[in-house]
Amino acid sequence: MNLSFDNTEVAFAHKSNRDLKKAYRLFQTFNYPFLVNNGPKLANLALSLRLPIKGIIKNTLFAQFCGGESISESYISARQLHENGIGAILDYSVEGEGTEEDFILSYAELQKVIHEAANKPEYPIAVFKCTAIANFKMLEECTEAIRASKEVSFSENIKYNEFNTRMKGLCQLAYKNNVKLLVDAEETWIQDAIDEITYEYMALYNKDTAVVYNTIQLYRKGRIADMQKRIETARQRGYKMAFKLVRGAYMEKESERARDWGYDNPIQDSKQDTDDDYDAAIKLCFDNRDVVSICAGTHNEKSSLILAKLLKNSDIEKNDDRFWFAQLYGMSDHISYNLAASGYNVAKYLPYGPIREVLPYLSRRAQENSSVKGQAGRELSLIQSELKRRKLDI
């Protein structure tokens, strides 16, 4: 089958007429800034007041973007994806207060996620955020120390040791169970500490195959040079380099902090620069496929097509395990389902957690799909095309 992201029939084949109409109505509400900006806050308040709105959220926003409130509840969505040739990446989306108790709970939950991936074909990959298991301030201090090339002894830092123990626990568990483990990227002022430890465990556990993946945000300046350096190190030291490639999710926050603190903005000067570096990163990884594996986490059609074409015109299979595409559940199904139907490796982040705890995640998805952030219409027009193709009234 020829790959086309315009094929809404393939993209929405898994959705009944009723579900498609429901999705249309939901994406339409994202065009109302008041609802997007205040909806999740009001929902939180209503839940605190024990107003009976849980069912409404669960049936609408939550159903569109999340798998369930628990791993077991998410399995239905994972199975539906699997039936369409798409993997699910269980994404524990609870954003805790950052207490030691939260870290212990998250660590236990993430171990469960890796076990699920080890035992069920529906979950080819696992993922986590370091801030779910580590103190933000500690990561910030470590990043400052790394940048200042200070001779700090991390081993004297109790919080760092706890983080290291959990990090090692997760990477080792993934290694023993042959599960790909993605480490999400976060704010630049904590990222060096995340990079440092992730590359350390990559050297340890990626000896034969890619297990631990570090995330590269191509909206940052200078990432290509950094990747080149990392690839060379891996080649010299004899392990596999594995990257998740994303553009980056904290652009406004990054620019604001740089302005407030008076340092150079780490973000590229334009969207075009980000796009150029993203596509250059794909090419760099493809050219170094003797040692590099990637997961291309993007909703960008052009970048997805670039990787798809490289694979199609190469000497390796389209579904070579070194190359994966990934999108978020409830978004860009036209990319995921069409790639899968054409025989590529595709997985979707499947967020889960108790409704109240995933509200911040849902709020970000609503923002992203709203006119406020200029993304409005992308999903909506695809759903509209499919409704038209099915000759359905809205």
Ligand X SMILES: Cc1cc2nc3c(=O)[nH]c(=O)nc-3n(C[C@H](O)[C@H](O)[C@H](O)COP(=O)(O)OP(=O)(O)OC[C@H]3O[C@@H](n4cnc5c(N)ncnc54)[C@H](O)[C@@H]3O)c2cc1C
Residues forming the site for ligand X (CB under 6 A): 184-185, 215, 217, 219, 246-251, 267-268, 270-271, 274, 297-300, 326-328, 349
Q: What's the Cα-to-Cα distance from 235 to each of 203, 238, 284, 289, rounded to whole Å?
A: 10, 5, 14, 11
Give which of 355, 83, 144 is closest to 363, Cα–Cα: 355
Q: Give 164: exposed, middle or buried? Use CB within 10 Å, 0-12, 13-18, 19+.
A: middle
Q: How far is the CB of 78 from ligand X (least distance, A)?
A: 15
Q: How far is the CB of 298 from ligand X (least distance, A)?
A: 4
Q: How far is the CB of 301 from ligand X (least distance, A)?
A: 8
Token pair of 345, please? 């490796």
Between 328 and 387, whose beta carbon lies closer to ligand X?
328
Between 109 and 387, whose beta carbon lies closer to ligand X?
109
Q: How far is the CB of 7 from ligand X (least distance, A)?
A: 19
Between 126 and 246, whose beta carbon lies closer to ligand X?
246
Token look-up 């699910």 returns 88
Token look-up 């219409």 returns 377
What distance in Å separates the CA atoms of residue 92 and residue 102, rounded to the nearest whole number? 13
Between 40 and 297, whose beta carbon lies closer to ligand X?
297
Q: How far is the CB of 18 from ligand X (least distance, A)?
A: 27
- Buried b / exposed e along 8-31 (16+ C-beta atoms within 10 A): bebbbeebeeeebbbbbebbeebe
Between 47 and 251, whose beta carbon lies closer to ligand X?
251
Between 185 and 234, whose beta carbon lies closer to ligand X?
185
Between 251 and 310, whose beta carbon lies closer to ligand X?
251
The total of other beta-carbon atoms located within 10 Å of residue 76's CB is: 11
Between 220 and 240, whose beta carbon lies closer to ligand X?
220
The total of other beta-carbon atoms located within 10 Å of residue 301's CB is: 15
Between 268 and 342, whose beta carbon lies closer to ligand X?
268
Token pair of 91, please? 């994404």
Q: Order of strands, edge to edge, in the sheet holding 292-297?
A: 87-92, 346-352, 323-328, 292-297, 241-246, 212-217, 180-183, 125-128
Q: How far is the CB of 246 from ligand X (least distance, A)?
A: 4
Q: Within the chain, what is the greatest distance between any pair of CA atoms?
A: 67
Give the DSSP H or E segment for 11: helix 8-11
Between 117 and 326, whose beta carbon lies closer to ligand X?
326
If you ran DSSP here, which 8-state letter would residue 155 be given? G
If DSSP states are collapsed to H, E and C, what string results for 234-298? HHHHCCCEEEEEECCCCHHHHHHHHHHHCCCCCECCCHHHHHHHHHHHHHHHHHCCCCEEEEEEC
Q: How far is the CB of 17 from ligand X (least distance, A)?
A: 27
Q: How far is the CB of 82 from ligand X (least distance, A)?
A: 17
Are 179 and 262 in contact, with CB atoms under 8 Å apart?
no
What is the distance of C-alpha 368 from the center of its chain? 14
Q: How far is the CB of 219 from ligand X (least distance, A)?
A: 4
**Closest residue to bound ligand X by CB:** 297
Q: How far is the CB of 126 from ligand X (least distance, A)?
A: 13
